[in-house]
Amino acid sequence: MKNGLQLIIVFVLFSCQTKQETSKGPGEINNLVFSELATTWDEAMPLGNGMVGQLVWQKNGKLRF
């Protein structure tokens, strides 16, 4: 009986210690910044939605998709 009571007390204490985090917007958490475009296709930035996609890079001063 004593062990069961201790287990309940420990459970209650841990469940009461909730950490409240401030929610950040998607721009603050998932922020990718590219200072320049890739110059080869294998370093290109992938864009897409899971079914359709493309790679974006730069060659001879022109944007390639």
Q: What is the pLDDT of residue 14?
A: 66
Cα–Cα distance between 31 and 10 in angstroms, integer? 39
Distance of CA 9 to the CA centre of its chain: 36
13-28 pLDDT tens trace: 666 665 555 555 555 6
27-56 pLDDT tens trace: 566 677 778 888 888 888 888 888 899 998
pTM of the model: 0.46
Which residue(s) pair with 43 in the sheet? none
Q: Using CA of residue 15, residue 21, residue 23, residue 27, what is the dihedral sign?
A: negative
Asked if residue 43 lies in contact with residue 49, where contact means CB atoms within 8 angstroms, the answer is no
Asked if residue 34 lies in contact with residue 40, where contact means CB atoms within 8 angstroms, the answer is no
